[in-house]
Amino acid sequence: MAIAIATATPEPMALRVRGLSKRYEGAVSPVWSGISFDVPHGQRLAIIGGNGAGKSTLLRCCMRLIEPNAGQVLLDGLELTQLRGAALAKARARVGFVFQKHNLVGRLSVLTNVLHGGMARASSPRMWFQGLASAEDRDYAMHCLEQVNLAHLCKRRADELSGGQSQRVAIARALMQKPRMIFADEPVASLDPQAGEDVMQVFSDLAQQQGMTLVFVTHHLDHALNYADRVIGLQQGNLQLDSAAIRLNAHQLRGMYAEAAA
Ligand SMILES: Nc1ncnc2c1ncn2[C@@H]1O[C@H](COP(=O)(O)OP(=O)(O)O)[C@@H](O)[C@H]1O
Ligand SMILES: [Mg+2]
Distance 58 CA to ligand 1 centre (A): 10
Would the pTM count as exceeding 0.75?
yes
Listed residue (185, 151, 172, 194) closest to 104, CA to CA: 172
User: Is the CB of 52 within 6 Å of ligand 1?
Assistant: yes
Ligand 1 site-directed mutation target among 23, 28, 31, most atoms within 8 Å of CB: 31
Which long-range CB contacts under 8 A does 23-31 form with residues at least 24 apart?
Answer: 23/69, 29/237, 30/69, 30/237, 31/57, 31/237
pLDDT one-digit tens code per residue, 192-240:
999 999 999 999 999 999 999 999 999 999 999 999 999 999 999 999 9
pLDDT one-digit tens code per residue, 50-65:
999 999 999 999 999 9
Q: What is the 3-state secondary structure (H, E, C) of 154-197?
A: CCCEHHHCCHHHHHHHHHHHHHCCCCCEEEEECCCCCCCHHHHH
Distance 25 CA to ligand 1 centre (A): 11
pLDDT one-digit tens code per residue, 76-122:
999 998 999 999 999 999 999 999 998 999 999 999 999 988 775 55
Residue 262: which pLDDT band, with cuts at 50, 70 and 90?
very low
User: Is the CB of 49 within 6 Å of ligand 1?
Assistant: yes
Nearest atom within ligand 1 for CA of residue 50: 22
Angle between helices 135-147 and 163-175 (to 10 degrees): 130
What per-residue confidence (pLDDT) applies to 253? 84
Residue 35 · residue 69 · CB < 8 Å: no
Beta strand 230-235 with 238-244: parallel, antiparallel or unpaired? antiparallel
The ligand placed nearest to the CA atom of residue 57 is 1
Residues lying with their CB under 5 A of ligand 2, a single-atom ion: 55-56
